[in-house]
Amino acid sequence: MAGIVILRHGQTEWSQSGQHTGRTDIPLTDVGRAAAAALAPQITGHTFAFVACSPLQRARRQLDWRD
């Protein structure tokens, strides 16, 4: 079945405090990393024809949840 999957990065220090991170390269918090790991079983085994990801570390770490 074809579809689009959209994921947003997990929590950062700034998002936790309500600040807008924008282009500032803020890492995920422990909570953000745990959220990425919890999401992994839901997408593991799916084949994606295309994946687009921001170059910022919080987005890349969300995508590569094993780190």
How high is the pLDDT of residue 67? Answer: 47
* Residue 66 pLDDT greater than 80, yes or no: no
Residues 5-60 have pLDDT tens digits of 888 888 888 888 888 877 888 888 999 889 888 888 888 888 888 888 888 887 77
CA distance 22 to 33: 19
How high is the pLDDT of residue 65? Answer: 53
CA distance 54 to 9: 10
- Predicted structure pTM score: 0.69
